[in-house]
Amino acid sequence: MPHTMGSRPTARDEGPSSRACTQSGAFALLLSAVALFLIPYWIERPREISTGRYIAYRLTLSSEMDALDADPVWQKYRLSNPSSDLISIAELLNLSVPMSSGPMVPTATAATLPPPKKLPGPPGPSFPSPPSAPTNLTVTISAGIDEAPIIADLLRKLNDPILLTNTMREANYFAFSIEKWGNKRNQLLYRGVVSNSCHVQRLEVPTLPPGAAKPDFFAPLLENDAVLKCLSISDVRELADLELPTFGNPLVSEPRIQRQVDLKPGSLSGDLLTSSVVLQMILFFVISYFGAFAQEAVSSDRFPGAGTLFAAFTRSRWTLATMFLAVWTPALASLAMSVVSRKWLVMLCSIPVISATAWVQHVLGQKSYFVSVQPRALFASRRFRAHKS
């Protein structure tokens, strides 16, 4: 029965408030469980990002090698250099191919212009005539290879051990593929060193402490200069098509290189970031809903009234501690998910959730609801029992 403004709720009013608190509190705990459920997705997200980048780099490298073969500048260079496929990527970067040449047509100069007409008058000072224009000059137009910087950049990016190891952890398919591709790359590099086609101080940069065992997923870090100097065009062409990721893999066939979040099988799925933000927004409103009814319950002189949610959890210190944990579980779950995600938007959305939880704690603290489970009270209780014994 509704009561007038300023009147205290009666015993008959506590039933609906208690049910509302119970329902909203249970729903908040359910949402907290979903937030904790999203944490493994966020933990695996860096591996999914690395997988997507690895696939993009490999496909782009293959595409750029095809574009190099179709480049007219490169085609002209190959016609005059039969061993062009044996030059290194470093040489390709500095390559300048003459495309056209011809005689330079000189512009009109003072020597080629007709002499000016002399006007009557006293003779002026005489000056030496300007030199005649140079002849037999030629102009040569040269062009570089547009694909060379892109190919070199992709080889540097595919030399990132973090990118490769994260992708290897994503699936056995990528672990075997990258291991085979990396072994072939190293073999081609060492072949270039043995054949004296490149001269470098070292090929591999140590990334493990001396004597440390190699982990299950390991990719060596190579010197970028060595990669560019010791890999020839034919080597990179061979690597570009070796173990090329195919879209027959189930992970790659998704709309994005990431798993869609399935909060409830067959009913709700979506992007991980969007799901996390929407979840925290709903969690904030549910906690605020719970806090509103908790504030209504606290306004009663009989708080906690018999038969209510708050009275049921005051039967023992353990049940009250459970209630305290239940109140702060949404904030802890939201904070844990935000920290693991490392996304500023998710972290920003956790602030209202934590603030709403602190407000509920303040509301219940007005009646000293959790005073017996606070650290100071527990310490004082232990001292009292020790003194009594």
Read off the pLDDT of residues 366-376 as tens digits, 9 standing for 90 and up.
Answer: 888 887 776 55
With bands split at pLDDT 50, 70 and 90, how would you rate the model's confidence at 387? very low
The answer to whether 78 and 191 have CB atoms below 8 angstroms apart is no
Distance from chain centroid for Cα 203: 29
In angstroms, the CA 223 to CA 125 distance is: 71
Q: Where are the domains of the chain?
A: 13-44+266-388
> Can you tell me whether residue 139 is helix, strand or coil?
strand
Model pLDDT, residue 352: 94
Average pLDDT over residues 332-336: 94
In angstroms, the CA 87 to CA 89 distance is: 7
Model pLDDT, residue 375: 59
157: pLDDT strictly greater than 90: yes
Q: Which residue has the higher pLDDT, 100 or 382?
A: 100
Cβ-defined contacts of 245-248 (< 8 Å, 24+): 245/54, 245/55, 245/58, 245/59, 245/174, 245/177
Q: Which of 97-101, 149-153, 260-264, 383-387 has the highest mean pLDDT?
A: 149-153
Strand partners, 141: 100
pLDDT in tens, 196-236: 678 888 888 888 888 888 888 889 999 999 999 999 999 99
With bands split at pLDDT 50, 70 and 90, how would you rate the model's confidence at 279? very high
Model pLDDT, residue 221: 92
Model pLDDT, residue 205: 87
With bands split at pLDDT 50, 70 and 90, how would you rate the model's confidence at 18? low
With a pLDDT cut of 90, the percent of the chain lying above it is: 35
Amino acid at 339: V
Average pLDDT over residues 357-386: 69
- H and E: helices and strands count for the chain: 13, 6
> Could you tell me which of 52, 81, 84, 54 has the C-alpha nearest to residue 68?
84
Model pLDDT, residue 386: 47
Model pLDDT, residue 256: 47
263: pLDDT strictly greater than 60: no
Model pLDDT, residue 265: 41
Model pLDDT, residue 358: 93
Average pLDDT over residues 294-319: 80
The answer to whether 128 and 161 have CB atoms below 8 angstroms apart is no
Amino acid at 219: A
268: pLDDT strictly greater than 70: no
Model pLDDT, residue 305: 74
In angstroms, the CA 313 to CA 327 distance is: 12
Model pLDDT, residue 15: 58
Average pLDDT over residues 101-129: 56
SS (H, E, C) 244-265: CCCCCCCCCCCCCCCCCEEEEC
The answer to whether 62 and 242 have CB atoms below 8 angstroms apart is no
pLDDT in tens, 22-50: 888 888 889 898 998 898 888 888 898 99
Cβ-defined contacts of 67-76 (< 8 Å, 24+): 67/147, 68/145, 68/147, 68/151, 68/233, 71/145, 71/146, 71/147, 73/97, 73/99, 73/143, 73/144, 73/145, 73/146, 74/145, 74/147
Q: What is the mean pLDDT of the chain?
A: 79
Amino acid at 350: S
Model pLDDT, residue 180: 94
Model pLDDT, residue 25: 84
In angstroms, the CA 332 to CA 322 distance is: 14
Model pLDDT, residue 123: 59
249: pLDDT strictly greater than 80: no
**Verdict on whether the full-model pTM lies above 0.95:** no
Model pLDDT, residue 121: 56
Q: Which residue has the higher pLDDT, 277 or 378?
A: 277
Average pLDDT over residues 305-315: 78
> Can you tell me whether residue 83 is helix, strand or coil?
coil
**Residues comprising the chain, all counted:** 389
